[in-house]
Amino acid sequence: MMQAEAVVADHVPAELREAVLSARMPGERLLWCGCQNAQDMARQTLPIAYWGIAWNTIWILLLWKMGAFDRGTFADPQVMLLACFPLLIGILLLFTPRLNAHLARNVVYAITDHRILTLTRRGKGDMQTESYVPAPGSEFECTVRRDGTGNLTYAKLPIPQGEGGSQTRTRTFQCISNVREVERLLWSTFMSAPTSRSAESPRPLNGVE
């Protein structure tokens, strides 16, 4: 019996889901798609927000200690600008979790029977697509939280630098649900022997026959 298209969509917005479907090549089957958990992405940057609170508290105490709040201290606009600029930095740090959550809502991940996709919405209607095919012998790194969400690194790519040096760029599914199941799907899709892969095609996570 022919397999139907089946997708695990973890709260993927309709626009991003359609972008994944349109990014497929002819004959390419979508096995899974999911997006970042915006709350988890915001939670990861909470320490930065705490630093923003500490930064502004310390700076306000320093200004008070130096008598900056006395009458006439801010009469000079340049003095006012120098005094307020560090406070603006602290305010920006406070909004880091909200910004991270907003960015997470514009990213969608997908696994097909041919490649791994990351689609990022940029601006109005613009969609950036990155695809990657794991090489034989690739290693996956999985970090799992108690609720089953986590990060899944599927590639570490060396980037040549000057004088023979290099840096490593990682490609990771960040803050996705059911991360262990997604890891198993990657293994069964790309790491199985060629004979077994040709004998039985990869099944979607919620495969329907």
Residue 60 has pLDDT above 90, yes or no: no
Residues 94 and 179 in one domain: no
Residues 148, 93, 109, 10, CA torsion sign: positive
Range of the domain at 53: 46-100
Check whether residue 93 and residue 137 sit in a common domain.
Answer: no
Cut 0.95: pTM above it: no
Q: Are residues 166 and 124 in the same domain?
A: yes
- Which DSSP category does 93 fall into? H
Residues 28 and 111 in one domain: yes
Whether 206 is covered by a domain: the verdict is no
Paired tokens of 68: 């900056």
Whether residues 130 and 163 share a domain: the answer is yes
Rounded percentage of the chain residues whose pLDDT exceeds 90: 18
Could you tell me if 8 and 20 are in contact, meaning their C-beta atoms sit under 8 angstroms apart?
no
| pLDDT tens digits for range 168-205 | 888 899 989 889 999 999 998 887 644 334 334 455 55
| 181 three-state secondary structure | helix
Question: What are phi and psi for residue 121, nearest 5 degrees?
Answer: -80, 125
Do the beta carbons of residue 106 and residue 121 sit within 8 Å? yes
Q: How confident is the prediction for the chain on average, in pLDDT? A: 78
Number of folded domains in the chain? 2
The residue whose two tokens read 């700076």 is: 59
Q: Does position 2 have pLDDT exceeding 80, yes or no? A: no
What would the two tokens of residue 26 be? 């002819």
CA dist 133 and 135 (Å) reads 6
Q: Which domain CATH number covers 143?
A: 2.30.29
- Same-domain status, 53 and 144: no
Pairing of strands 9-10, 30-35: parallel
Q: pLDDT tens across 63-121, in order?
A: 777 766 666 555 566 666 777 788 888 889 989 988 888 888 889 999 999 999 999 98
Look at residue 40 in the predicted model and tell me its pLDDT: 81
Taking the C-alpha atoms of residue 180 and residue 149, their distance in angstroms, rounded to an integer, is 8
What is residue 139's three-state secondary structure? coil
Do 178 and 114 sit in the same domain of this protein?
Answer: yes
